[in-house]
Amino acid sequence: IMAVHTGCRISELLALTYNDISGNMLSVNKQLSKELVIEPLGVKTRDAVTDRQKTTTSQRTLPLNSVVLRELEDHRLWHLNEMMKRGYRTEYIFTTSNGTLYGRRNVLRALERVYKRVGVPCKAFHVYRHTFGTNLCKNGVPIQTASKLLGHKDINMTAKYYVNVGMDEKVKAVETIAFQGL
């Protein structure tokens, strides 16, 4: 729901905290990264950490619609109950059952299981971001606005990769000139 209704990248969603939400606005200003840790015996591990985003245009404030706000409220109540039950505290919105940050790969594997269970071909997580951009433009939102909501520096990126024009839009476009000048 968050991905389809905000256009956030998976790394941005996994780094979100409840403090990033103020009223109906979401501040997207960090992402989940991996940090290499070398342990005393030379063992290398990767820890999930939050980090600043690569570009300043990726840092943005997004309005949240009523669907997302309702789901976030339900999630927060569930999450508070889980924290009480399991004895941990966190400000992060999406955590494991002991309060640690989810690894990106774990989320993708869980998503693959959901796709398999419902009999849908597996899609990359980024498809939700594309869906967000496409839905905005299909509903008459100017591409400049969609580009800002997606955090793109250039609307050409939005136009090239995020606005998918379906056959019904093409037919409708051609029909608009069917009787002109004849």
pLDDT tens per residue across span 34-82 = 766 677 777 665 666 667 767 777 899 999 999 999 999 999 999 999 9
More confident residue, 165 or 61: 61
As a whole number of angstroms, the distance between CA 72 and CA 20 comes to 12
In this prediction, residue 47 carries a pLDDT of 62
Confidence bin at 164 (pLDDT 50/70/90): confident
What is the rounded average pLDDT for all residues in the chain?
88
Cα–Cα separations (whole angstroms), residue 33 to 26, 29, 51, 172: 20, 13, 6, 43
Using alpha carbons, select from 98, 78, 102 the residue that is nearest to residue 86. 98
More confident residue, 117 or 38: 117
As a whole number of angstroms, the distance between CA 24 and CA 22 comes to 6
Cα–Cα separations (whole angstroms), residue 26 to 16, 73, 166: 9, 14, 30
As a whole number of angstroms, the distance between CA 165 and CA 159 comes to 10
As a whole number of angstroms, the distance between CA 133 and CA 162 comes to 5
As a whole number of angstroms, the distance between CA 53 and CA 71 comes to 26
In this prediction, residue 77 carries a pLDDT of 97
In this prediction, residue 178 carries a pLDDT of 80
Query: Mean pLDDT, to the nearest integer, of 168-176?
Result: 84
As a whole number of angstroms, the distance between CA 86 and CA 53 comes to 31
Residue 147 has pLDDT above 90, yes or no: yes
In this prediction, residue 49 carries a pLDDT of 66
Tokens of 64: 């949240």
Tell me the residue ranges of DSSP E strands in 78-122: none
Specify which of 1-15, 27-41, 101-115, 155-169 reaches the highest per-range mean pLDDT: 1-15
Using alpha carbons, select from 8, 161, 174 the residue that is nearest to residue 94. 8
In this prediction, residue 24 carries a pLDDT of 96
Could you give the percent of the chain with pLDDT greater than 90?
58
Query: Mean pLDDT, to the nearest integer, of 165-182?
Result: 79
Confidence bin at 118 (pLDDT 50/70/90): very high
